[in-house]
Amino acid sequence: MFFFASGFVAVEFLLNEGWHPVQLNFLRHILVVLILVPIWIYFDSLDAVLKANWKWGIFVGGLGFGCGSILLLYGQIFSDPVTITIIIAVFPAVSVVFEVILDKRILNKELVIGILISIIGGCIAVLGSQDLIKVSWGAILAVTAVFLFAWASRANVVDFPNLSTLGQTAICMIGSLTFISAIFLILIISDKMMDSFIIKASIKEYLQLTVYAFLGMAFSQFLWLLGIKKIGLGLASIHMNATAFYVMIILAFFGGSWNNYQLVGALIVGIGVFISQISKKSFIT
């Protein structure tokens, strides 16, 4: 989650520099895939790569992570990185819904209460924004992205049992790149991508793009899927609530200011997480 949070900070800088969100997403996917595919072939063999379920991998990656990442980026444009990461507090609730419906899991009251409190904390964080209507649209986009991410995260682990965690990460990142590339191409053809200034970017912008791609996406995605394999989607997603704290810490380290509403919202989210884990019986079984 710390590496995931670093991506929010990096992309905020790049967006403020005028980078187009689709262009930015396309470039980071290119970097990620160029690194992941050779590593996948090296560790799992070319035969394992060729025998993978590519049709489903591209669909899951494209819809879940590709479309989801674009929605999350536009959500951040409407609001800010801390608000978005606190809104992501609904991720555990969404994950639990998927596990209850698809995996027939049983809920306990402590987990439900904890999740509801976490959602209240996310709402308080949104109320602290200066432009509530604008941020509310950002929140809607972020929540939609959360549903897509939750579905794709589960499918990424459950639907590719013959792949290693590295392979599961790579195949869905390629699917995500496929979706992003199609959107990028449409914008190029329709002359909507007028600010393609990647060649003129500064060294600092390149460094932020590297952080966004490798730490915020490739490495964090690998650890995320590994965590889901160990403890399940519902419990793993609860840890995502800590992302807002990490974002605020990183921003503060680089001279950013604290937002009291966001801080209170994050603390309430933390209380919800604590209640949801107050006893072993609170977990989904």
The predicted structure's pLDDT at residue 190: 86
The predicted structure's pLDDT at residue 282: 47
Question: Which residues, 6+ apart, have CB-to-CB distance to 233 below 8 Å?
Answer: 95, 98, 99, 150, 153, 154, 157
Average confidence (pLDDT) over 1-15: 87
> What φ, ψ does residue 265 adopt, rounded to 5°?
-60, -45
Assigned token pair, 33: 């895939």
Averaging pLDDT over each range in 98-112, 154-168, 247-261, which range is the top one?
154-168
Averaging pLDDT over each range in 113-122, 153-162, 239-248, which range is the top one?
153-162
Average confidence (pLDDT) over 219-232: 88
When the pLDDT of each residue in the chain is averaged and rounded to a whole number, the result is: 82
Average confidence (pLDDT) over 66-78: 85
Q: Coil, helix or strand for 191?
A: coil
What is the C-alpha separation between 172 and 157, in angstroms, rounded? 10
Give Cα separations from 176 to 44, 68, 125, 144, 171 (angstroms).
21, 9, 30, 16, 9
Average confidence (pLDDT) over 62-78: 88
The CA angle 169-2-120, to the nearest 5 degrees, is 100
Dihedral (C-alpha) 217, 208, 9, 1: value to the nearest 10 degrees?
Answer: 30
- Count of beta carbons in the 10 Å neighbourhood of residue 158: 14
